[in-house]
A and B are shown apart, each in its own frame.
Chain A
Amino acid sequence: MKKILILTLFCLPFLFLDAHSQLVQAVVSIGGRVYNITNNQPLSVNIEIFDQNGQRINKIKSNATDGSYFITGLKPGSTYEIRFSDFDYMKYSYSIQIPATDKYLEYSRDFLIIPKKTQTKILIPVKLFETNKSKLKYGVDIFLADYINLLKLNPTVKIKIVSFPDDNTNPQENLALTQQRSSSLKDYFVSNGIDAQRISVEGNESTDPDNPPPTGRASKGKRYIGSTYLIIEGF
């Protein structure tokens, strides 16, 4: 009896310490919405979470009604990869580094997913060029990294880069400028490991009918730079 009592007393502090360490082990979560890039409609897609050793630790599906998802149980100080691998959509991945913390943390992230469908048109949301220039602007790398990642994760996908001019003054010059713009972007992708055979380029003589230059009062003092699109040509 005495031995049991001594053993219990000996074990108690360890039990307490273990419980305490579980209490201070913070949990990190990430949640957000998944949308179709072409129409901003919510999507129900498979989402897999991998740890830094490449081990899948969770698999969920985003909600069909609002596209919401919620992943919990992530450990502070770790890096995770969130992968979208639905058959009908292009593969996509997002890496998140969780800072070391002893507090409950919740991150937020919305995703735009591209349908696996030929002629899907993806508007690059930032202006990659200066007015009437064909050289990529300094600082575009952070925006283009996502597209390079996308092309690497979907190695059979072929794309066409389509650029539009900034005005309608000279069709011939516009065509030359925009072909050069598309080629500059292609060269950037190729220099970042994308096979040149997968990318075709196209220029245009006149401005983008889907995103035209502002007119009337709205145009006063506004700089307008033609749009650039990636169009899915095949898989």
Chain B
Amino acid sequence: MMFFGEYIMYKKRRIIYLVLLMICSNFVISYAQVVNYKMRIIGKHNDEALAVFINKDNTMMATGGQDETIKLWSLPDGKELKTLVGHLGAVYNVSFSGNDRLLASGSEDQTVRIWDVTSGVEMKVMLGHTGPVIGVYFDQDNDPSLVASTSFDKTVKLWDIATGTEVKTLRGHTAPTNNVAYSYDGKTIASASDDSTVRIWSTDLKKDAPLMVLRGHRAPVLTVLYSFDNNLLASSDANGEVIIWDANNGGILRKFKAHNDLVQDVSFASDNKTLVTGSLDKHVKLWDITGPDLLMDMDIGVGVWSVDIVSDGNIIAIACEDGTIRLLSKGAEPVKKGKK
């Protein structure tokens, strides 16, 4: 026979076990949501890391930082290969050429620079913007000839990399232009601006006017990117919203609140439906944009300025506010899906 006191103790123990069990099961569930990607820090810039770009064959990535340098890293191991020095201001953006041999960078020092990836030698310094260069994107052709850039001077410029001269200035944005992307067929470029629009331009040097002006964001548009099949465009804004556009007619296909702070960067995987987003809200998220379904949400613990993803989605590279460069590598466990 149990005394009353013992009975209470017994019940208490059961309650404690129950609570512990609940805590454990909760932990297992939340772990399952993020376990498919494991994070590791592979290195650091001496100041905020602002840009990351993975090359076409997924063997290398470049990062740019407030410390005025560009770093090259090997993939998938994440070994630091080179530091490229030359810019006299923060490096806001980097982009590999379609053949992975050249790298373009845009900086606070108002220049676009071209670097030889193998030797790390600075090949061209291109002056012409009258404000900091925020976006750069290389022509993705196997024999690249042009680089597009955007700037606080509100223009989009096209540069001939052979001569190092401006061959076109595209005007129309009414506020600073933040980022730019080349379509993979080389026919169009898209620019994102503080004027809350995305503009699509022909790469035909004889055409000046935008082909389309895409309106749908209610805040400065920070980035824009084509899917690999050129059928979609993804853009993100300062309110944390992402819009998926039909690149052929400019129609909005999906619009969703992705983050609680500005989304500075997005990137498509090669399946053209998986999109990674990074935000100053310290989260990196992976989306199936056909839903959109949230595939993964990881709290990085620090604001994210830039993200990129390898073609098969197994590695996500991120450039963080604290200067760190991190890799999220896919684990063995299945992805837990959740409808947004």
Contacts and interface: CB of A to CB of B under 8 A. Distances in A.
Contacts of A128: 88
B66 interface: yes
Interface residues of A, number: 26
Interface in A76-127: 96, 99, 105-110, 112, 125-127
Q: Is the interface of B mostly helix, strand, loop or mixed?
A: loop
B216 to A, nearest CB: 27
A142 B125 contact: yes
Contacts of B130: 35, 40, 110, 112
Interface string B30-74: 000000000000000001100000000000000000110000000
Given A109-B128, A221-B323, A126 B165 contact: no
Interface in B169-203: 169, 171
Nearest to B111: A142
A107 B166 contact: yes
Interface residues of B, number: 31
Q: Is the interface of A mostly helix, strand, loop or mixed?
A: loop
A53 B110 CA distance: 32
A140 B88 contact: yes
Interface in A172-227: 220-223
Nearest to B122: A139
B165 A221 contact: no
Contacts, number: 65
Contact of B109 (A105, A106, A143, A223): A143
A63 to B, nearest CB: 13
Given A125-B110, A221-B47, A99 B169 contact: no
A142 B162 CA distance: 19
A69 B189 CA distance: 25
Contacts of A40: 130
A144 B169 CA distance: 24
A139 B111 CA distance: 12
Given A99-B163, A108-B167, A110-B128, A220 B88 contact: no
B166 A108 contact: yes
Contacts of B168: 106, 108
Contacts of A107: 165-167
Contacts of B139: none
A223 B166 contact: no
A127 B155 CA distance: 22
B222 to A, nearest CB: 16
Given A106-B206, A143-B88, A221-B47, 5 more contacts: A33-B171, A107-B167, A108-B157, A128-B88, A143-B127
Interface of A: 32-33, 35, 40, 96, 99, 105-110, 112, 125-128, 137, 139-140, 142-143, 220-223
Interface of B: 47-48, 66-67, 86, 88-89, 108-110, 125, 127-128, 130-131, 153, 155, 157, 162-163, 165-169, 171, 205-206, 321-323
30 contacts: A35-B130, A40-B130, A99-B163, A105-B167, A106-B167, A106-B205, A107-B165, A108-B128, A108-B157, A108-B166, A108-B167, A108-B168, A110-B153, A110-B155, A110-B169, A112-B130, A126-B88, A126-B108, A126-B110, A127-B88, A127-B89, A127-B108, A127-B109, A128-B88, A142-B125, A143-B88, A143-B127, A221-B47, A221-B322, A222-B66
